[in-house]
Structure 1
Amino acid sequence: MNADPDVAVVGLACQVPGAPDADRYWANLRAGVESVTVFDAAELRAAGVDDALRTRPDYVPAAPVLADPSLFDADFFGYSHREACALDPQHRLFLECAWAAMEHAGYAPGRQTGPVGVYGGSALNSYLLFSGLLPRLSDDYLFTLTASDKDFLATRVSYKLGLTGPSLTVQTACSTSLVAVHLAVRALLAGECDMALAGGVSVRVPHRVGYLHDGGHMLSADGHCRPFDAAAGGTLFGSGAGIVVLKRLDDARAQHDTVHAVVRGSAVNNDGADKAGFSAPSVRRQADAVVEALGAADVDPATVAYVEAHGTGTRVGDPIEVAALTRAYRRFTRARGFCALGSVKSNVGHLDAAAGVTGLIKAVLALRHGEIPPTLHFRHANPDLRLDETPFRVADRLEPWPAGAGPRRAAVNALGVGGTNAHVVLQEAPAPPEPAASVPARPVVLLAVSARTPHALATLSGAVADHLAAHGDAHLADAAYTLQVGRAAFACRGSAVARTAAEAAEALRAAGSRRMPAAPARAAPPPAVVFLLPGQGAPDAGVGAGLYRHEPVFRAGVDRCADHFASHMDTDLRTLVERGAQPRGGAATQAAVFTLGYALASLWESWGVHPAALVGHSLGEFVAACLAGVFPLEAAARVVAARGRLVDTVPAGAMLAVPLSEERTRAHLRDGLTVAAVNAPAQCVVAGPLDAVAELADRLRRQAVPARRLPVTHAFHSAMMEPIIAPLRASVCQVSPAAPRIPLVSTVTGAWMRDAEATSADYWARHLRRPVRFADSLRTLAGLGRYVLLEVGAGGALGGPARQQPGPLAVVDGPSGDDAPSVVRALGRLWEAGVDPDWAAFSAGQPRRRIPLPGHPMRRRRCWIDAPPADVDPEPPEAHAGTLPDRPAAASGTAAPAKSGTAAPAESGTAAPDADATADARDAAAPRTATEAVVIAVWRAVLGDVPIGPRDNFYHLGGHSLLLTRVAARLNGTFRIDLPLLTLMEAPTVEELAARIDDVFRFGSRPTAPARRRTT
């Protein structure tokens, strides 16, 4: 058992009547909003309520309803449309809330460390009974069972979110979700998991209809729930869901989570036979549960200032519950009227399996905000409560809850038909510990945002911008940290670098307004990163100074280089970098270029950005060789220092950048000039004597060729280097180069460096004389597939030539000027290109917290099967998702359309109709063969009425192994063949599968015609 029995509520999410999220829920509670909808005659007729029922005196045309439970983002959770239509809407809503709760806690589902448990329950699956779904799916028992049964509520969340802790469906009627919280708390304290989701859900179908009341015994006669009031006449049932995320308090504080409240103790029991009947409550056993919870919490009941009661507003239930609470409290205190009593059922009705967690979330928010919301419709206390004799009073208006000598405390009560009672004692969150900063805070933060689609990315960026604008600079660093470590990494990405919340909001809105690239059609692995190491010219003054102050890894890299260069030169490289001064002399300049590249590479690797290949330009190839293990750092420093000293003995020369092809550049050469580098198809560098270079520059200027002198003192890679080749070779021989551990592209040959070249002293000596074939080197990288070029050095000199080459997904420049922000900005560019850094390492030593931020927007669409008219027989199982054609339609080349009764996607009001065309406008090109047409028809029958084209992938459309067996059965029955499942797995696209089927007939015996299939 855990030493500290306290458990923290670190995240929460809910969808309840009148509120799509917890923020709106709290606003409604504060304002005393009753979220009960009264339906007019037209709405009731549309819902199938005939006039005879509607006009009955005992019919109440009201219910607490959700906005639209038919809507679901099937694509987000990897479901085909057909599967989504078959799923119990309660499972779908619970899954959405689980995702939202994890995001609210600041944890990316599936990326958290340690096991995460799931505890939850749902109400009766009335969708299966009343939608007409059951007869359509009854031919597939396993599919119907897993889509519909309560047993799979919690395990579905664990599967879809990648959670590996205990996964239990809990069922205790109205107390279900509070019992789930109790079980989750116990599991955390027992060490069975490190985090837990707990809650419940209820979705009633038909949804927007009323009910027949029972004269006020259980159900309200007028559509209002009046807990504790003299006019109380019953409750009314509604739909909703809620989930809390729990962690051990010590862990939450150590990991800098936002703690919304603390669970001090909880208890669960059952009435047993101590009651008049199965559905009757027991005062004694309810009181026992309260006492046990208070004992587990180890708190004085006199310090509990608020109890969120079960409070159904029934004539029998309320007096029994208050009597039980009073009996429990009277064991400890005789005080009266000190504890406020409330019930959220007056706002949102009775949410069945979600009722307990809905009350718990209300109590958590009351503790967090220091206010007690009103219980509605309370005018005069029910005399049977004998309230004046109890410790309780009803909170009938919004009350401030000021801080006292001790922490605020509340309790939540839940009672289930059948006698399972649950009680939870809560306490306000302790003051958060101040995270210690072990290094100076960076001058800027990086906000990394991602989403599944371009429109979702723009929406999320705007929502985060609004949050930052509302909360100011206090939230900025924590928001950046939460986005980095606490959110899933999707394909569509944006970033913003800012010093203030206002800057961040402006940058995020600007990013959101840009035209975003389309989301990738299929999942792709992160791109390879190629380090480009520059090597010419001196770094700009100031480059490295900011990094030296703010980045310990960079500083350590500079210090290591400085230590090794110290014995070979008089200049202290630390002083140069720290002061932002420019080096003087060739040896110091080359040492500074090398040091900057080496220290930056160390910094990038510490952030999890590891090179798949290295390309070094001129001196940069020595840095690349050092990073690849060809030269140990000490040996590299010796060779680079020798190279610099030797260059200083050569007469001064010059280098000229010429924007012409290599062939045209050579046509201009004379007087000892040499092509020293070919950086791009129309970008070369010429080197040679000062006068000759000056004459060439003048001549090109007269011809309107904008040549540019480079800021160097010598003619590198020219014949002027010839006298120092032999002594440089002798210096390399002293250090014994090794074969590279990371692939290197040689800028001498433009090809992948061979081990024989890497270990050759002659190669490294002649390297100074031979032209830099940088353009050829970039072309060689095409073999990497998807890759990003990152300049690991100052100035961005290599970025321009690199962008002229086809192939890289992105080219990210090195730092210049204010280097610390520019490196952070470069990390944002890498993130946008699909590279996933080690965000924990990036934030190491920085004071950060996980905080609630806007979550990923769901693109909900209608996933629903409506009940057929009473006089029409149910359609067969295939009808709701498209049917097979009688035979391949060779003439038209198209699959048979779905039947008119198909449950087609309908756009939710949460997204613009054409905002996410990439999400469902798949490759719907017409099939090219009759076989492809049949495959598409079969897929649509199994997956649902979604656009499918020849190149679409079965798994990317939401298919999985269970559905694959159905595809195989249909195809084998249609074509009268025996296609193994392995063949379907190896051919995941329509065109590949169709080709396999055609091969069966091409190399086997083809039947005269595909089997005909009866349609309805």
Structure 2
Amino acid sequence: MSFENEYEDNKADIAIIALSIRLPGIDTVSKFWETILNGEEVVADLSSQEVKENAMEARSDFIRTNNNIGEIENFDAAFFNFSTREASMMDPQHRLLLETAWEALEAAGYNPESYDGLIGMYAGVYANYYQMFNLLPCIKGNGAASELQMQIASEKDHAATMAAYKLGLTGPVLNVQSACSSSLAAVHLACESLLTYSSDMMVCGGATLGIPQTHGYYYQDNGLLSTDGHLRAFDAKATGTLYSDGAGCVVLKRFNDALKDGDTIHAVIKGSALNNDGALRAGYTAPAVKGQIQVIERAQMAAGVNAEDISYIEAHGTGTPLGDAIELEALHEVFAPHTGKSAFCALGSVKSNVGHTGPAAGIVGLIKTVIALREKTLPPSIHTDTPHDRLMTGLSPFYLNPIQLDWSSPNQRRLAGVSSFGLGGTNVHVILQEAPVQPPAPSSKRIKLFVLSAKSAESLYMQKQSLQQFLKSASGEQLADAAYTLQTGRRLFEHRAVWLYRRGMEPEWMDREMGRKAHSNLAMQPLFHFPDLSGFTALDPGDWISEEPAFHTSFIQCMKHAPQKSGRGDSALQDRATYAIAVQVSLFGLWDSWGIQPSGCQGTGVGLFAAASACGLLTVADAMYLGNCFTAALATTGQERSIWVLNYQQRVCRMKTEPMKIPLAVPQGRQPQSYEDWSSSDFWIKYLNDALEDKASLQSSVNNLRDQLVLEMNLHESSDLLVEGDGATVWRNVYRLLGQVWMDGYPVNWKTYYQGERRHRIALPAYPFNKTRCWVECEDSDIAADLPFLPISESVNLRPEQLIGYIAPRTETQRELVAAWELYLGVTPIGIDDNYYELGGNSLLAASLNAHICERFGVTLGLEVFLEQQTVARLAESIESWRFDSTPVKGGH
């Protein structure tokens, strides 16, 4: 039974295939787990200077906690195609959610642009304090377009939908807002979407940011907040909660689909439930025992598990005396009646480590539990020196582990529950099970080809550094899976580089010049060149032949048509010709299987027969026989040559030809102009005669157009390149050429590249964003009054590198338009042929910019004109035209 068939009945299970997280001092999943595993706390203290700068009084009831992510004013606007102005208006929580969603999809190994199914997104964010403290005090004017811009940039409604727009997600997208339970509610709803086939993959998450970033708080006796800046979930000394920045996303997929597609499955969702306390609670903000009991029981029922099967609960655990007491009561009501065992289920809350991250809290707790299941380890519950009274009875099913423990489960798969309860009564509980151990997937490719791409040379360089670090500790299978993930699961950008890597050797950069840019217009396909024997490397057949299945299959078929030995002449040389044609035709088939179609083929000497077969003109049998005779005739003299020439001529006269599928050329002599010329026996007889008269013609160089890539149907660049024992380097030059092809922008069919292998998508270092300041402070700009709505950030983005060559303005009109565009877009320098949309512009900003231009030049330009013209040069022409005839310019001209 196959691995996939073993789990065929798990059709209601949901796989968690990717994780991403951001917390104070934490920007990777591995760093998060390290922090939790070490029992660390991310809470930091404000310095005296920070307290002074924020005009906070250092009273005895002031708590100097600083649970912020930091540097939230910085954002890679150009990467997500925002203008600096637009990004500066945007709620930083939306930006953080967008980044973590991007990182989660990368960790899953999927590029939405190339994924065939529907990817959706459910997520929630916290209140927008950036709008309150930064944007609203800076407003200088009003206008319908600007108001709409503000709404899109600031309102919760647009957090998930803007991310979907920028990521290219076409499945169901909703903003889920249920306060503290928002992100786990998003997970529950996403599971329903997947199980009803409304989507094929779902991104779920949440984000919370406190603004201003450096601030403490004043505690109140019997209030919600901790009296000492520490959160002690389920400890008798707990005095309150502690709010913190945070964001996280997970990617979900139907379990069976994830198995089939080779996804990394971190854990499995067996079931979940969502409800509301309704009027059962004492007040709107108070939790209710009965509501929590019901949601946990229903989740266990949906998962088909008993309370006694569960050995860990990641609780909501806010550290408030009332909230913890109610949650413990609910848990005991669910577990105690169904078991006589005590202290079999560990209890924890990630909030003791990282604080309460509001709408992101559920996803942060889920991620912690997923990793714990994956690593089969229970991380320590910190700040639990004196466990809650309810846990000290000796009969409780639950216990707190103050130290790291191995998560033993001898008789069954590990199961865990995750709770998240929202202010307002929306409760969510999810049942997780550890993922099955997926069987190893060995790779036949001993040399791995890693492809990297980025929007900037700086980001590409940073990718190189992070990949190099990854390679140091990766296993052989991980290397193959990493190469596969980069090839098939990442979005492609202009700046590209390639590594050839084999265990035990230094990675070889395909192009030593970092930042090589792919061609944006692939007008020319590569040219395939089939060399003569003098330029062909003959290698002894070995296991290297089977390393590429498509090549191996073709080579075996070709050799079935090898001519019988005649006993005359140099049989070794004839065998070499036969072998060369088989190798060259098979290499052509290999490139074709990888999706690389040539603009044409060229052949030199015996290589022309291989090229003619590859193009469909000659059969393999005819090509081999003619090539054999051709080689023997050139290597003999006198009567023996005459016999080979006669055999050649007789075969030419009865050979079968078909119209060519690909253009064919010879780099020397007269070029046949039609199929009739190519199929004529006269051409082929003359080809042999010319070669007999001038063997030097076989050394003619390749005819190719300038800048056209030439792929040689050969295994090595030169005949003196040695094979390194095991034959792994036989393919080095082929892979090197494939990397060159990819860097030049030709699409490669990576699925057939891995024919016969089962590869997995794995999490790799995330894309390194190249961030700049995108932030509004009223004091940031002296030009606020000149703008119709908001001041622009002090910093601006440099002109995107992927744009065409910069052309400076030449006329006064062009210079003034460039100045206006740079002001509104926050990009410099702007060339007169730069496209407005590629600079990060949009239709809403266009309305304000167009009004500014009309007022400045005293013209009447319809907005449709602005949107149609799209460049400064064309817009300047419209303005000059208006001035010439004083007629309002409408669209369509």
TM over 0.5: yes
Q: Shift of residue 257 of structure 1?
A: 2.0
Which of 714, 722, 727 matches 1:793? Answer: 714
Shift of 1:752: 9.4
2:549 to 511, 533, 552: 552
When structure 1 is superposed on structure 2, of 54-63 and 316-325 the one drifting more is: 54-63
Which of residues 93, 97, 104 in structure 2 aligns to 1:94?
97
Do the aligned partners of residues 758 and 989 (structure 1) sit closer, same or farther apart at CA in structure 2, a change above 3 Å counting? farther
Which letter maps to 1:309?
A
Rounded to whole Å, the distance in 1 between the matches of 2:256 and 2:350 is 31
5 Å-filtered alignment, 1:394-405, equals 394-405=400-411
Structure 1 SS opposite 2:16: strand
Q: Aligned in 2, Cα 1:750/1:1000: closer, same or farther, shift over 3 Å?
A: farther
Alignment partner, residue 373 of structure 1: 379
**Cα distance in 2 for residues equivalent to 1:583 and 1:934:** 79
Partner residue in 1 for 2:872: 990
Q: Distance in 2 between matches of 1:311 and 1:147?
A: 33
Inter-CA distance 3–498: structure 2 relative to 1 (3 Å threshold): closer
Pick the aligned partner of 2:233 from 227, 241, 255. 227
CA deviation after TM superposition for structure 1 residue 90, in Å? 1.1
Sequence identity (%): 34
Farther-moved stretch of structure 1 (978-987 vs 98-107)? 978-987
Determine the structure 2 residue equivalent to 1:672: none
Distance 1:183 1:744, change over 3 A: same
User: Are the counterparts in 1 of residues 352 and 382 from structure 2 also a CA contact under 8 Å?
Assistant: yes
Q: Name 1:805's counterpart in structure 2.
A: none
1:306: Cα distance to partner?
1.5
Letter in 2 for 1:863: C
Counterparts of 1:278-677 in structure 2, within 5 Å, are: 278-383=284-389, 388-435=394-441, 441-500=444-503, 502-503=504-505, 506-507=506-507, 514-517=512-515, 519=517, 523-525=520-522, 528-537=525-534, 539-542=536-539, 545-566=542-563, 584=571, 587-637=574-624, 639-641=626-628, 643-644=630-631, 647=634
- Tell me the equivalent position of 1:674: none
Q: State yes or no: 1:854 paired with 2:745.
A: no
Which residue pairs with 1:956 in the alignment? 838
1:453–1:518: 8 Å Cα contact kept in structure 2?
no
Q: Is the 8 A contact 1:530 1:614 kept in 2?
A: yes
Deviation at 1:357, TM superposition (A): 0.4
Q: What is the CA–CA distance in structure 1 between the aligned matches of 2:224 and 2:810, rounded to whole Å?
A: 63
Structure 2 counterpart of 1:740, from 635, 639, 660: 660
Q: What is the Cα deviation at residue 243 of structure 1?
A: 0.6
Q: 5+ unaligned residues in a row in structure 1: which ranges?
A: 573-581, 653-712, 715-720, 801-815, 883-901, 907-915, 1008-1016
Task: Say whether 1:845 aligns with 2:756.
Answer: yes
Q: How does 1:185-334 map to 2 (within 5 A)?
A: 185-334=191-340
Whole-angstrom distance in 2 between the partners of 1:471 and 1:795:
29
TM-score with structure 1 setting the length: 0.78
Write the distance in 2 (CA, Å) between the matches of 1:651 and 1:917.
71
Which stretch shows the higher mean deviation, 593-602 or 252-261? 252-261
Rate the CA distance shift 1:934–1:744 in 2: closer, same or farther, 3 A: farther
Whole-Å Cα distance in 2 between the matches of residues 288 and 191 of structure 1? 27
Partner of residue 932, structure 1:
814
Deviation at 1:175, TM superposition (A): 0.2
Structure 1, 485-494 or 314-323: larger mean CA deviation: 485-494
CA distance in 2, matches of 1:823, 1:776: 20
Which shows bigger deviation, 986-995 or 261-270?
986-995
Q: 1:380 to 1:137 in 2, by over 3 A?
A: farther
Equivalent residue, structure 1, for 2:133:
130
Q: State the partner residue of 1:66.
A: 69
In structure 1, C-alpha distance between the alignment counterparts of 2:841 and 2:645, rounded to whole Å = 64
After superposition, the C-alpha distances for 1:242-278 in whole angstroms (9 at most, x for unaligned) are 1111122222222222221111111101111112222
1:29 maps to which of 33, 36, 56: 36
With over 3 angstroms needed to count, the CA separation of the structure-2 counterparts of 1:148 and 1:624, relative to structure 1, is farther
- Equivalent residue letter for 2:515: P
SS of the residue 1:23 aligns to:
helix
Secondary structure, aligned partner of 2:451: strand
Equivalent pair of 2:17/2:108 in contact (CA under 8 Å): yes
Aligned to 1:63, the other structure's residue is in SS state: coil
Distance 1:545 1:605, change over 3 A: farther
- Paired residues of 1:923 and 1:948 also in contact (CA < 8 A): no
Which whole-Å CA distance do the structure 2 matches of 1:387 and 1:497 have between them? Answer: 62
Name the Cα RMSD after superposition: 3.8
The code of the aligned residue for 2:22 comes to Q
Counterpart residue identity of residue 662, structure 2: I
Change (3 A) 1:953 1:430: same
Per the alignment, residue 709 of structure 1 pairs with none
Task: Please point out which of 741, 748, 752 is paired with 1:830.
Answer: 741
* In structure 1, C-alpha distance between the alignment counterparts of 2:116 and 2:887, rounded to whole Å: 54
Q: Secondary structure at the match of 2:274?
A: strand
Secondary structure (helix, strand or coil) at the match of 1:455 reads helix
**Residue 542 of structure 1 contacts residue 818 of structure 1 at CA under 8 Å; is this kept in 2?**
no
Does structure 1 conserve the Cα–Cα contact (< 8 Å) formed by 2:267 and 2:433? yes
Higher alpha-carbon deviation: 374-383 or 279-288: 374-383
- CA contact 1:7–1:249 (8 Å) conserved in 2: yes
1:380 Cα deviation from its structure 2 partner: 1.8
Which shifted more, 266-275 or 404-413?
404-413
Match of 1:680 in 2: none
Q: Would you say the 8 A contact 2:652–2:684 is kept in 1?
A: yes
Structure-2 change in CA distance of 1:388 and 1:981 (3 Å): same
Q: Which moved more, 1:13-22 or 1:545-554?
A: 545-554
In the alignment, the residues of structure 2 paired with residue 125 and residue 595 of structure 1 have an alpha-carbon distance, to the nearest angstrom, of 67
Displacement of 1:976: 4.5
CA deviation after TM superposition for structure 1 residue 936, in Å? 1.1
Code of the residue aligned with 2:821 in structure 1: it is W
Quick one: structure 1 residues 845 and 111, their matched pair in 2 at CA, closer, same or farther if it must change by over 3 Å?
same
Deviation at 1:818, TM superposition (A): 4.5
Contact 2:447–2:728 at 8 Å: present in 1 too?
no
Tell me the TM-score normalised to structure 2 length: 0.88
Change in 2 beyond 3 A, CA 1:1006/1:263: closer
Cα distance change on mapping 1:136 and 1:738 into 2, 3 Å: farther
Post-superposition shift, 1:799? 14
Letter in 2 for 1:488: R
Q: Which shifted more, 619-628 or 289-298?
A: 619-628
2:735 is matched by which residue type in structure 1? V
Q: Secondary structure at the match of 1:264?
A: strand
Q: Deviations over 1:122-180 (max 9, x none)?
A: 11122122112573685323322222222222222222222222212111110000011
Q: Is the 8 A contact 2:141 2:789 kept in 1?
A: no
Partner of 1:9: 16
Q: SS in structure 1 opposite 2:558?
A: helix
- Aligned to 2:300, the other structure's residue is in SS state helix
Distance 2:621 2:851 in 1: 67
- Give the Å deviation of 1:833: 3.3
Contact 2:206–2:360 (CA under 8 A) maintained in structure 1: yes
Task: Quote the Cα distance in structure 2 between the aligned partners of 1:919 and 1:373.
Answer: 46
Structure 2: stretches of 5+ with no match in the other structure: 1-7, 722-726, 889-893
- Count of residues in Structure 1 that have an aligned counterpart in Structure 2: 869
Moved more, 952-961 or 257-266: 952-961
Task: Check 1:322–1:826 CA distance in 2 against 1; reply closer, same or farther (3 A cut).
Answer: same
Aligned mate of 1:946, from 810, 828, 831 = 828
Paired residue secondary structure (2:717): coil
CA distance in 1, matches of 2:269, 2:124: 20
- Deviation string 1:832-866 (CA, Å, 9 cap, x unpaired) is 33333211111121243222221221112211111
Structure 1 residues 593 and 270: CA distance shift in structure 2, 3 A: same
User: Mean alpha-carbon deviation: is it higher for 57-66 or for 963-972?
Assistant: 963-972
Distance 1:595 1:286, change over 3 A: same
Note if contact 1:326-1:390 (Cα within 8 Å) is conserved in structure 2: yes
CA pair 511-390 structure 1, distance change in 2 beyond 3 A: farther
Task: Tell me the secondary structure at the aligned position of residue 330 of structure 1.
Answer: helix
Q: Quick one: which amino acid aligns to residue 352 of structure 1?
A: G
Among residues 97, 105, 116, which one is paired with 1:113 in the alignment?
116
